[in-house]
Amino acid sequence: MSTARALLARDVRLAWREGGAVGVALGFYLIVVVITPLGLGPDLNLLARIAPGILWVGLLLAALLSAGRIFDNDYEDGSLDVLATGPLPLTVVAGVKCLAHWLTTGIPLVLLAPFLGLLLNIPLGTLPSLVLAMLAGTPAVSFVAGIGASLTLGLRRSGLLLALLVVPLYVPILIFGVSTVTPYVTGPNTIWPPFLILCSLSLASIVLAPLAAAAALRTALR
Amino acid sequence: MISLANPSRFLSLVDRVVPWLSVVVVITLGIGLYLSLFVAPPDYQQGETVKIMFVHVPSAWLGMLGYTLIAVAALGTLIWRHPLADVAAKTAAPIGAIFTFIALVTGSLWGKPMWGTYWVWDARLTSMLILFLLYLGLIALWQAIDEPGRAGRAAAILGLVGAINIPIIKFSVDWWNTLHQPESIFRVGGPTIDPSLLIPLFVMAGGFTALFVLLHLIAMRAEILRRRVHALQRTQVEHATLAEA
Amino acid sequence: MPDLGTHASFIIAAYAVTFVAVGALVIATLEDDRKQRRKLAELERLGIRRRSAKVPASPTVKSRAKPKAANTQAKRKAVTPRSGKTRS
């Protein structure tokens, strides 16, 4: 357990020290949210209605952009081979790395979202539910991104391929994530069913994604 | 399955099956088209456009069948290590993708006169579109990884992950529909379809399925031969470099 | 041509798309199959066999391969007497 914790601490520290990748993800999120009203027109009512969708889509895209980082750095300098033959099972290694991604990239994106929501005229009352929904859903985002990252390890143009592979898997997260927020904006107070499903998607990803990712890593490292 | 694991035996099976299966395909599709276009009556609700159903529904069924085949083959690759499982999966992907594409386009052409729109984001259409994206992802992954062993295993993992995802998407999009689009989903023909329409549909479905099997077998043969060609080309290079040494 | 009603163009378009897509798929599959068989025949013509265990220098390979091929065919016809070279 302490080995896992040490690995997590190492990954988090590396991510913060590197800084740039997280900054790029945040900057990309900002760009997406800025250009959308420029494309759709400044009608504030329209923006308020679609703000949850834009915020979720922007978050997913930013997460996809940073997903390559989960395994690529260690693969390139050989640490992944060491980790694969080390004391930790590869499943745990994969899980820890996805968790590190959530802590260092997912959570900052979630913290940025409310401020970007203000740009989109989102009603202030929805902000708590937005943050809550995103906190519940972003673990799934990071762990599923881990599946994509492990499948495309070391390939050319892996970024684009990763996005293509992961987007169909993101669809349920997106749908339930938006459903949790939108009722506050448009109507009846029925956030609990989609919110609970979002939580279950995250929990399921935390358990299942490392299995798939480890299998993919094993094929890539062979 | 086990006896077919030997590629050479499989190839001889394919060589024996292809000729008569081709005849079956041509005859079935011929009869099916005749029934669809000239015999099937117009639907009381949809008029003649119901004829689109005879190409749309079989294509959709085969798109889903193709992915099921890929998911089962993925189990074959990862769990039982069947030698031909990854060949089956690799060759099924483009075929399934094309049938899914046909289903999407013919459905869209059916929707415009019937629903007034080429597209609507309801459960079935969105799930089929996601299925198409999953196929594209599989094909892209096969293309991107050079080493066939790694490609086969990676594609198998992706295939299984996508298989889990399909019921989730279907379920989640049903939910989304309930919350955001209270208007009812248009249903085609109701729960029972008259035999005069059902029979042409089944004949076309049978013909399409036979076509799928035929194309899949030929594609598997081509893939097995391609791998032999690559192996021989490698030996050719080895001999040449050794001769120069 | 059967009477296709008011929306005939959609029906025709749907069937046309189906024909074209299926046709392209059939052609692509058959072409790929043909290409692989051609390549394999080409390689076998050059005398490159599967599971060739020995890797001697090039002249020996060619000279051993061609007579071997000729002699295997001859063996199948079961007429030519065995010579020293056809030891497998």
Give the pLDDT confidence of A165-210 residue by residue, as tens digits.
999 999 999 989 998 887 766 666 677 888 899 999 999 999 999 9
Check contact B-A (3+ Cβ pairs < 8 Å): yes
pLDDT at C51 over 70: no
* C-beta atoms of B94 and C25 within 8 A: yes
Shared domain for C41 and C61, answered yes or no, is no
Shared domain for C3 and C28, answered yes or no, is yes
How confident is the model over A132-141, as a mean pLDDT? 95
Write out chain B residues lying below 8 Å of C13, CB-based: 109
Q: Is residue C16 part of a domain?
A: yes
Shared domain for C58 and C39, answered yes or no, is no
* C-beta atoms of C3 and B113 within 8 A: no
Determine the residue of chain B that is closest to A208 in CA distance.
B161
Average pLDDT of every residue of chain C:
69
Tell me how many domains chain C contains. Answer: 2
* C-beta atoms of A168 and B173 within 8 A: no
pLDDT at B164: 87
pLDDT at C63 over 70: no
Write the CB contacts of A168 (distance below 8 Å, at least 6 apart in sequence): B130, B133, B134, B137, B162, B165, B169
Q: Is residue C88 part of a domain?
A: no
Shared domain for C1 and C39, answered yes or no, is yes
Domain containing C27: what range?
1-45
Write out chain C residues lying below 8 Å of B244, CB-based: 58
Shared domain for C39 and C62, answered yes or no, is no
Decide if B105 touches C, using CB distance below 8 A. yes
pLDDT at C86 over 70: no
pLDDT at C49: 67
Q: Report how far apart the first and last C-alpha atoms of chain B are (Å, whole number).
A: 45
Shared domain for C7 and C34, answered yes or no, is yes
pLDDT at C55 over 60: no
Contact C47, B87 (CB under 8 A): no
Shared domain for C41 and C1, answered yes or no, is yes
pLDDT at B176: 61
Shared domain for C39 and C59, answered yes or no, is no
Q: Is residue C69 part of a domain?
A: yes
CA angle A183, A110, A131 (to 5 degrees): 35
Least confident of A1-15, A204-218, C55-69: C55-69
pLDDT at A158: 84
Q: Is residue C76 part of a domain?
A: yes
Shared domain for C29 and C7, answered yes or no, is yes
* C-beta atoms of B222 and C50 within 8 A: no
What's the 3-state SS for A86-105?
CCCCHHHHHHHHHHHHHHHH
pLDDT at C50 over 80: no
pTM (2 d.p.): 0.84
Residues of chain B with pLDDT under 70: 1-3, 175-192
Q: Give the separation between CA A110 and CA A124, rounded to whole angstroms.
A: 16
* C-beta atoms of A169 and B165 within 8 A: yes
Least confident of A68-82, B3-17, C66-80: C66-80
Write the CB contacts of B70 (distance below 8 Å, at least 6 apart in sequence): B88, B89, B92, B93, B96, B138, B159
Chains that touch C (3 or more CB pairs under 8 A): B
Q: Is residue C64 part of a domain?
A: yes
Write out chain B residues lying below 8 Å of C24, CB-based: 98
Determine the residue of chain B that is closest to A160 in CA distance.
B140
* Cα of C86 to nearest chain B Cα, Å: 21
Q: Is residue C75 part of a domain?
A: yes
In this complex, which of A155, A179, A212 lies closest to B145 when CB atoms are compared? A155
In this complex, which of C8, C17, C56 lies closest to B105 when CB atoms are compared? C17
Write out chain B residues lying below 8 Å of C61, CB-based: 239, 243
* C-beta atoms of A172 and B130 within 8 A: no
In this complex, which of B55, B113, B231 lies closest to C7 when CB atoms are compared? B113
pLDDT tens string A137-158: 999 999 999 999 999 998 887 8
pLDDT at C57 over 70: no
Check contact C-A (3+ Cβ pairs < 8 Å): no
Q: Give the separation between CA A112 and CA A182, rounded to whole angstroms.
A: 19
Which C residues 18-77 touch B at CB under 8 Å?
A: 18, 21-22, 24-26, 29-30, 32-33, 35-37, 39-40, 43, 46, 48, 50, 52, 55-59, 61
Write out chain C residues lying below 8 Å of B47, CB-based: 5-7
Chains that touch A (3 or more CB pairs under 8 A): B
